[in-house]
A and B are shown apart, each in its own frame.
Chain A
Amino acid sequence: MAALVWRAALAAALVCGIGLLPWLTRTDPALTVLKARSADRDPTPQVLADIRAQLGLEQGPLRVLGQWLGGLWRGDAGRSWLSGEAVTPAVLQALGASLLLMAVALAVAALTAALICARTLWLGAHRRLDGRRAGGSGSAVLAALPEFLTASVLATVVGVQLGWLPALGWYGPRWTVLPALALGLPAGAVIGRLLDDLLPGAFAEPWALAAAARGLPGRSIARQAVRRCLPGLLPNLGLFVVGLTGGAVAVEQIFDIPGLGRTTLQAALAQDLPVLQAGTLALVLLAAIAAGLAALTTRLLVGPALRDGALSSLHRRPPPVRRILPIAYGLLLTVVVALGLPRDPLALDTGERLRSPSVSHPFGTDALGRDVLARVAHGAVDTLVLALAIGAAALFTGVLLGLVPRLSGPLVDTVNAVPPVLLALLVTAVAGSGPATPALAVGAVAWAPLAAHTSALLRQERAALHVAATRAFGAGRWYLLRHELLPAALPSVTRHALLRLPGIALALASLAFLGLGAQPPSPEWGLLLAENQPYAERAPWAVLAPAAVLALLGALAVSAAGGVRLPRRSWPARTPEPPSAEEPSPTKELVGIR
């Protein structure tokens, strides 16, 4: 009940925040509406006054908001300030298209995740997992793929050049394939990576050994292992459901899909508040439903075990890491940066535009004849430092808030459901457009999936036998947290945070058009990708180079994070000293037995 009230309060705060947005940012809605209607029209005072009268803006923000809320009870979300059309049917129509796209994308994501976990599943089901480390670089590269890049490559190559599938429109099942691929691949890579992270733990549990000894087929063991890991992922899956529904702006644009992402983006830019409020409310509602379903499914899957504290820890000490991979990736990245740093990233020569890679320009040149290698290298420092800083802050906040799931759960869903542009506008409204604003705007969402992940893992961990045992020996809450719960969840969440680093770099660049963040001609990586996107077909190197280094960063982060582990307790000096906690998880015993 309390959670419901908290959730409703958040939604209400959000709607009110949107309602006050123009007054907070001091951006006249009459002006933005006029420009969205007709960019060439001169904003004379008379015209602006007419629009204000038409929209009823003179009554002040509170009256406007009150009227909108009054109509909401009857399912009437008002009329669009832009077009004058009823909002409810338009938003529902867009929501339908977006939900369908999300559903197909989720299917693609499931398939991708299955492929990524296939090796671990096969090895685990045949009990050959011990001592092997899953690769992970492939999925990290996939997770780092910017959606708009995949989308434009798919549209150009599969849609236009090969002509296998329609390149744009939204008229039937055939039209869903390419956009769903562009959205589903990176999402599936993240989910697959998280699942792959948990699977070895599940396979090491006693039941798996017993099942194998009983002669159950590997297939059913694998199925049970997935079932065992799913509860830890469900909250994140819920976030993806909402994120893919409302945040697929780039894909919707490239494939010309009349979805909710584009609708809310346009409404946010034009400050078409009724549409923006309705669209956001729909997404927040969807988020609540997704969270509810995730909780329900968790209960169905592991409910009794959670209640009775009968789970074993999914987290065992990771086997030795292959040190060679991160070193190789790191070296490659360093070499690229070192080669590019002596070059000038800003010197443009329009006579040399869009040249393919050659000796003088190893990565080719961009649309203004600048050396792509130089730009990639010079952008590395800015991009990496900022992305790492935001990533670290997000990890800290995420873990902290993940500890208090009752408070953070609804907050996570709500924040995740807010369209990124809107969130940036809200942050700008509060923080002003200073140099830290873009980082704040990106950081304001980046923590959400990490918090969801943390709380999901902790929830299971709290039900683990070793925690019960430790508690039985009189350990306090603080002791439990520091020595049992956090060490179990942190490595996994940290790897998750690193997996999302490239996404943070891209999100930063996507705010540039609001005048936030890096401005051209800065060679920041996200900006590089965005400015070269129109030339993706004619000069693929100009987008592939930054995309490749971004993917390399992802691979480096994930492979290096394989070694992330916290020092477990040091035995002798600790009080209270729980003797049986010597073996914190039954997994270890099992390894010993074998």
Chain B
Amino acid sequence: MRRRHILGSLLLAPLLTACFASGGGSDSSGDAKEGSRLRVALAFPPAENLSPYGADATILSRLGVTEGLTALDANGAAAPALAASWRRENARSWLFTLREATFQDGSDVTPSAVAAALTHATEAKPAPAALSGVTLTAQAAGDTAVRITTTAPDPVLPLRLAGPSLAVLSAKAYDDKDRVDPVGTATGPFALTKVTGSTSAALDRYDDYWAGRAQAFGLDVRFIADGTARASALRTGEIDIAEAVPVAQAATLDGATRKETATTRTTSLLLNSASGPFKDAALRAAAREAVDTSALAEGVYEGYADPGAGIYGPAVTWAEGKRQQPAGRARAGDPDGMDITLATYDNRPELPEAAQVLKQQLEKAGFKVALEVREYSRLESDALEGKFDAFVLARNTLVDTGDPVAVLAGDYTCDGGYNIAQLCDRNVDRAVAEAERPADAGRRQDAAMAAEAAVLGTDAVVPLVHQRLITGVADSVSGVLLDPYERTLVGTGTRR
């Protein structure tokens, strides 16, 4: 009998261990290293097996695994990364000169390797977001340069190439036909060593990184979707860096642990200008005047947001100086108890709260508001079809390419693919088309701000708040890269 018990527990032990999640890969490192590995909690678990062509690309770029030819600097301009410099040869062709760098598998970053990586990206289905609407071909040009040509003139190509989905990986990454493998094939300061499904990942620093070795020995990453759980993990000292702490949990962290960054994410109230009550510009103006944005920034976002100034918020550093006052706005009409439906989604916990505050503000102005809150994927198609009169949306205003005009074209023009406001206005279309033309960054920004003023002039969108990102960083950790574009987090200088 006794023997059977022992045998049973011997059999049971491995079975039980198999039922637990394996730790963040810390077992792969020795004790001496343990002290200076960083433990990071990310909010979004990899959805596509860390494929570089989808949203998981952001994870790779935030962890310092992958790099593209270019990167975004603090002002949203293209900065050198794997390409040391570039020049525009003609309207359709650009020449990027590479720097000397090596892949994490030891091979050199050659022009042909870069061209192959970019070609793989263009062939991906669905195409990476940064490549939507363009067709490009990349070819090696000599020993140190890559020539990229586009079928139509693309003035923002260097910005586009900074997109995380256009990261450069070595030939080994593409061995498997079905998926791209970023483990040990990228060029960044940290190399993935082990990925455990969507729960954790382990990274070691890459000693031969072209910009110098990282100070941290490695990263142990956990993907914790629940915001409260991320904050708790930071408070118990289980992790060093917690991404995206929800506003509701910010107060539970010490002041020194909370790091705020203005982001390019703007929460706005979109008014359906094609059908329903808000077809009337006077009622849209009435809604705009009813909204008190500072009550939202203080009352709902607890000060972790700036009151809405325009489509672009303070994170877009050049926007404030170039902002134009919207002209030709309609005079506010009398809502007179008009029934409207206001929809939003609960994937971001602040949005339903903001919608409830808005409901009260609009009702004070004379509207009658019914709320509709759903999970985002259950809401989007209805919103795009214009089934709601008003919609509260948090939108990244420098989508995918880092180009300010893209969001205007997508969201507010007649042909826009994401036009929840159902806006179709000749002035707006003209202003946006105007803004898509210039290649020079400064002139492009001027034109974008003129287009912003045209959009705001229709009152189809009321900017509510510009959200700030709260990153929890343990006191002992320094050098975390707080990036308004949410593309970097850990770099060579991050350490404990």
Chain A residues within 8 Å of B, Cβ to Cβ: 27-28, 31-32, 34-44, 46-47, 50-51, 53-54, 82-85, 90, 93, 96-97, 99-100, 152, 155-156, 159-160, 163, 166-172, 175, 253-258, 269-270, 346-348, 350-351, 353, 367-369, 512-515, 519-521, 531, 534-535, 537-538
Contact = CB atoms under 8 A, between A and B. Distances in A.
Contacts of A27: 378, 381
A83 B378 contact: no
Contact of B378 (A40, A51, A82, A515): A515
B229 interface: yes
The range of chain B's interface size is: 35 or more
Nearest to B22: A171
Contacts of B126: 34, 46-47, 50-51, 54
Given A97-B20, A353-B299, 12 more contacts: A27-B381, A39-B55, A42-B129, A42-B132, A51-B126, A54-B125, A163-B236, A269-B377, A350-B295, A350-B299, A513-B373, A514-B374
B371 A38 contact: no
Interface in B4-50: 16, 18-23, 46-49
B248 A535 contact: yes
A168 B224 contact: yes
Given A39-B347, A39-B376, A368-B300, A152 B410 contact: no
B373 A270 contact: no
Contact of B357 (A167, A269, A348): A348
Contact of A41 (B22, B55, B371): B55
Contacts of A37: 47-48, 54-55
B19 A156 contact: no
Contact of A160 (B132, B236, B347, B379): B236
Contacts of A538: 248, 251-252
A367 B229 contact: no
Nearest to A257: B21
Contact of A36 (B232, B377, B396): B377
Given A31-B380, A42-B410, A96-B18, A513 B374 contact: yes
Nearest to B17: A172
Contacts, number: 197
Given A254-B226, A258-B21, A84 B179 contact: yes
Contacts of A515: 372-375, 378-379
A169 B238 contact: yes
A568 B418 CA distance: 68
Closest 8 CB pairs of A and B: A350-B299, A38-B55, A50-B126, A515-B374, A534-B248, A35-B377, A96-B19, A100-B19
A554 B375 CA distance: 30
Nearest to B410: A42
Nearest to B296: A350
A149 to B, nearest CB: 13
Contacts of A256: 222, 224-226, 229
Interface stretch (B65-73, B276-284, B348-356): B348-356
A472 to B, nearest CB: 47
B444 interface: no
A342 B307 CA distance: 35
A171 B252 contact: no
Contacts of A82: 47-48
Interface in B234-274: 235-236, 238, 246, 248-249, 251-252
Interface of B: 16, 18-23, 46-49, 51, 54-55, 125-127, 129, 132, 178-179, 197-199, 222, 224-229, 232-233, 235-236, 238, 246, 248-249, 251-252, 295, 298-300, 346-347, 349, 352-353, 355-357, 359-360, 370-381, 384, 396, 399-400, 410, 417-418
9 contacts: A37-B48, A83-B46, A83-B48, A83-B49, A152-B228, A515-B372, A515-B379, A520-B352, A534-B349
B19 A97 contact: yes
B134 to A, nearest CB: 12
Contacts of A531: 352-353
Contacts of B372: 515, 519
B377 A254 contact: no
Nearest to B346: A513
B490 to A, nearest CB: 21
B371 A520 contact: yes
Contacts of A85: 49, 197
Contacts of A172: 20
For A47, A347, A514, which residue has the most chain B Cβ atoms within 10 angstroms?
A47
Given A353-B299, A521-B359, A35 B380 contact: yes
Contact of A93 (B54, B197, B224): B197
B355 A84 contact: no
Contacts of A169: 21, 222, 238
A77 B152 CA distance: 44
B34 to A, nearest CB: 16
A50 B124 CA distance: 9
A520 B356 contact: yes
A167 B359 CA distance: 37
Given A35-B377, A368-B356, A534 B236 contact: no
A42 B18 CA distance: 39
A21 to B, nearest CB: 13
B248 A351 contact: no
A84 B178 contact: yes
A531 to B, nearest CB: 7
B396 A40 contact: yes
B357 A368 contact: yes
Contact of A350 (B132, B229, B300, B375): B300
